[in-house]
Structure formats: structure tokens, C-alpha cells
Structure 1
Amino acid sequence: MTKEAGNNEEKIKLITTDDGSHSLYVPNLNETYHSFHGAVQESRHVFIEMGLAHQKSRGLKNIKIFEVGLGTGLNALLTAEFAEKHQIPVHFTSIEAFPVDFELIKQLNYTSYLDLPKAKSWFEKIHTSQWNEDIVISPFFTLNKIQTKLEDYVAQGSTFDIIYFDAFAPNKQAELWDITILSDISNSMKHGGIFVTYCAKGQLKRDLQSLHLNVETLPGPPGKKEMVRASK
């Protein structure tokens, strides 16, 4: 997640969530990067099943994704897995203001959840690749990491098929859920594009509706009742 926690990497702690997969805990925000009910199962449900698989089912042959933000790289890794499995090209742009230290990244156990021999090398490449340029991670997955704050990023219009909105919760970093940012994000979506997030707050849904998006409240991942998908 862009989880704009500031440059306090020494304070970030590795934790194990209920499905056995790791996440990170940020003490100064009293917040985790993923649901403590299960990091991998949350990401698979919200972003892969409700986002990427949904767009593939519409017949898209080449998918462009924008992620807010890279965080642990879990969403990027699971997206690369999906792209490989279905042999569908994915271009993945991810914004991250404060990259997680690679020594901490190396302790995460996400690759054990993928039945792919190349998962470990992909995961390392996701985190060690150059910023601000297209990097081929696998034959079907190209990554462009952008190191900046979301508030400072200007997205091109009508570019993305999917938005993975994975910022810290609104009660932790409200500025990342501001209507101005949501408007910019909406403008960056193609016609038929979708916005998916674990958050299901009423204010978020009202804001998305005010931007003329069709808002769906969907069942959430285990441990969370609801999530949101909005389409343009």
C-alpha cells in the first residue's frame, strides 16, 4: 500500500496475519499494511478477483493498472501471477512515496503462496528495479514504479483499466482520500475502467458517485463485510 508512513522504517514491524501471510505494522499510525485477518487473501479478493479478473471477464486483452501504492509489493506480485497464468499482458504503474526497506521485504513470505518457480525472482525484481521507467518483470507483466506522493502525482487522462486504491485507511491518512485526488484518479480511468478498494466508507461512496462513477458495494474479504468497486 502507499502507505505514506514517513521515513520511519526502523519502527515498522513484521507481523503474521490470520491466513499465515505476513504484513507490516506501523506503530506511529497504529496501522497495518493489510488486513490482520489475512494479507494474501485480502489482496486476492479485493484486487485480483474483484478487479483484475472482473476486467478480464469483459474481454480485455491488454490491461493497464494504476496502484496506490506499491507498499510490500503483494498486489504487484499477485497481478504478475494472474497475468502469467492467463497469458494476458499487464502494464502496472505503482506510486510509492516511502519505499519499504529491502531487508524487511526479504523477510516477507508471499512467494510461498504462489505455485510459480519464478515467484521469488519476480518479487525481488519488483523491489530492486529502477524507478520511473518501464521494467519487464515477466513476459506478461511490465512495471513502472513512481516514487512520489500521491498528492504530487498528475495522471494522464483516460489511461487505466483498473485502479487499485490501496492507501492507508481514511481515518489514518484522510488526505489520500480527498475528493480532489479521487477526481484526478477518476479522470485517469478509461471508459469502462474500474476503481477497487478494501474501503467501504459511506463518504467514499458518495464522493465516487459525485464523480459520476457507478458504485457497487461488494462482499469484502474474510473478516471484512464490504468493499467497493466503482466503474466509469
Structure 2
Amino acid sequence: MKRKIITTADGSKTIQIEEWNEQYHSVHGAINEANHVYIKHGLLFCFEESDDNNISILEMGFGTGLNTFLTLLEAEKRKLNINYIGIEAYPVLKEEIEVLNYVELISPKHKNQFQRLHDSTWDKTIQISEFFKLKKEQKLFNDTNYIKAFDVIYFDAFGPRVQPELWTEEIFKLMYTALKPNGILVTYSVKGTVKRALRSVGFELKRLEGPPNKRHMLRAIKR
């Protein structure tokens, strides 16, 4: 499928799949969306609730590495020990990564760490910084089989409009199993079918204010 780099409303770039009219991040601001959904309501909510510096994160849809990079920066800023696993079936091409401008807009001094996120060997745990360990796994979502391993899941798949098979009870059951008790899953989608699938496997849902130009987002808690 044909892909191109586009600039979003906050000046940050993302990748668009033209055939689907779908982007890796919101056209209303890639960085703003990532910070709001995954950092503020995922990572930081978890830290504030538990006051534990050791946090395990599973990202479903590693993609451009933006969520991962923002998490690494928070880990260093707050001295959080983060163990991060990113799932991605179809890795972004190196030439696409090279034209993304996240480092320039967010933290130029962390250019080497951003590069290491993408250069690190797949299926191997790599110490990216003092506070951040990364393992990228190249596999499909339904091939994950973790049990009570994570505090937070960033669910950042392509939208249910174009890939409904990633937003099913089957997938969310895997996510529920992968979370520790009281673990959380955050996602940008509030579609009715998504909410029903999450509730059906046992999640308790909270609808929150969404990122720019989106009314709501979801946080699901494993009780």
C-alpha cells in the first residue's frame, strides 16, 4: 500500500496510508495525541496511582516509536525504571523514520536514544538508557501470550474502521490476561463496538476527555 509522510496540526509528522485514508497518528497533532492518551492518561496515571517507580509497559503498535520515545523521556525525567515491550507486525522503514521530526520538536539532545529505539535488534531486550529497557517483538497482535506481566498497555492499533480484527473480544482477552491486577489499557478509540468488546472480557471503562479535535478517549482497568 502506498504511504506518504504528512505534517500534522502541531507541526509533527506522521505516516499516512493513502489507500485507507489512515494515519499512524492523529492529523490534529501526532505529539499532542501521544502525550495526552498514552503518557498523561496511561503512564503518569499509573505512576500516580501506585507510586511505584518500576513500571512494565506493553505497546500494541510500535509504529514510528513516538509513544516509546515520549515514555523514555518521562522515565529519565522522573527516574522511573521502565521495562517496555513494543509489538509490531510490519516495522516502519528506515527511510521513513529518518524524515520524522519528533526529536527536533521534542528533545534534540536525545537524538541518539531515539535512533537506538529503531536500531535495536528485534526480539532482544536492549538497555536504551539507565532507566529504560526495550524489547521489540515482530509479531501479530493475536500471537501475544503474556500473563499478568504489565502495568500499562498502550493500545495504538490502526482504527477499527480499517482493521476491525484488531479490536475484538479475542484481542482484548489477550490484553486482559497480559495485565497485572489493576493494570490499565489506554486507547484513543471510543467506538461502541470497542467498548462492548472491552467490557465483555472484564474491563471497567472510564471515558476521558480526548486529545485535540477528539471528544473522548478510553481508559480500561482490570479489576
TM range (shorter): over 0.9
1:85 is matched by which residue type in structure 2?
K
Residue 187 of structure 2 corresponds to 197
Q: What is the alpha-carbon distance in structure 2 between the residues aligned to residue 97 and residue 223 of structure 1?
A: 29
2:47 is matched by which residue type in structure 1?
K
Equivalent pairs: percent with the same residue?
A: 43
**Shift, 1:154, TM fit:** 2.7
Q: Secondary structure at the match of 1:23?
A: strand
Residue 25 of structure 1 corresponds to 16
Q: What is the alpha-carbon distance in structure 2 between the residues aligned to residue 30 and residue 114 of structure 1?
A: 26
Residue 214 of structure 1 corresponds to 204
Give the one of 204, 216, 221 matched to 1:226: 216
1:103 is matched by which residue type in structure 2?
E
Distance 1:140 1:116, change over 3 A: farther
Q: Secondary structure at the match of 2:159?
A: coil
Deviations 1:39-78 (Å, cap 9, x if unpaired)?
A: 0000000000000000110212200000011100000000
Q: Which runs of 4+ in 1 moved over 6 A?
A: none
Q: What is the alpha-carbon distance in structure 2 between the residues aligned to residue 99 and residue 212 of structure 1?
A: 31
**Shift, 1:79, TM fit:** 0.4
Residue 60 of structure 2 corresponds to 68
Q: Secondary structure at the match of 2:218?
A: strand
Q: What is the alpha-carbon distance in structure 2 between the residues aligned to residue 115 and residue 125 of structure 1?
A: 15
Q: Does 1:160 align with 2:150?
A: yes
Q: What is the alpha-carbon distance in structure 1 between the residues aligned to residue 62 and residue 128 of structure 2?
A: 15
Q: Secondary structure at the match of 1:207?
A: helix
Q: Given the two structures, how large is their TM-score scaled by the length of structure 2?
A: 0.96
Residue 39 of structure 2 corresponds to 48
Residues 169 and 200 in structure 2, CA contact (< 8 A), matched pair in contact too: no
2:3 is matched by which residue type in structure 1?
I
Q: Secondary structure at the match of 1:29?
A: coil
**Stretches of structure 1 lacking an aligned partner (at least 5 in a row):** 1-7
Q: Does 1:113 align with 2:105?
A: yes
Residue 78 of structure 1 corresponds to 70
Q: Secondary structure at the match of 1:172?
A: coil
**Stretches of structure 2 lacking an aligned partner (at least 5 in a row):** none
Residue 100 of structure 1 corresponds to 92
Calculate the aligned-residue CA RMSD, in Å.
1.0
For residues 131-146 of structure 1, the aligned pairs below 5 Å read 131-146=122-137
Q: What is the alpha-carbon distance in structure 2 between the residues aligned to residue 113 and residue 81 of structure 1?
A: 13
Distance 1:116 1:55, change over 3 A: farther
For residues 174-185 of structure 1, the aligned pairs below 5 Å read 174-185=164-175
Deviations 1:68-124 (Å, cap 9, x if unpaired)?
A: 11100000000000000000111110011111111110110001232361x211111
Deviations 1:13-56 (Å, cap 9, x if unpaired)?
A: 01000000001101122211111000000000000000000011
Residues 61 and 157 in structure 2, CA contact (< 8 A), matched pair in contact too: yes
**Shift, 1:208, TM fit:** 1.2
Residue 187 of structure 1 corresponds to 177
Residues 22 and 109 in structure 1, CA contact (< 8 A), matched pair in contact too: yes
Q: What is the alpha-carbon distance in structure 1 between the residues aligned to residue 32 and residue 215 of structure 2?
A: 14
Q: Secondary structure at the match of 1:66?
A: strand
Q: What is the alpha-carbon distance in structure 1 between the residues aligned to residue 34 and residue 145 of structure 2?
A: 24
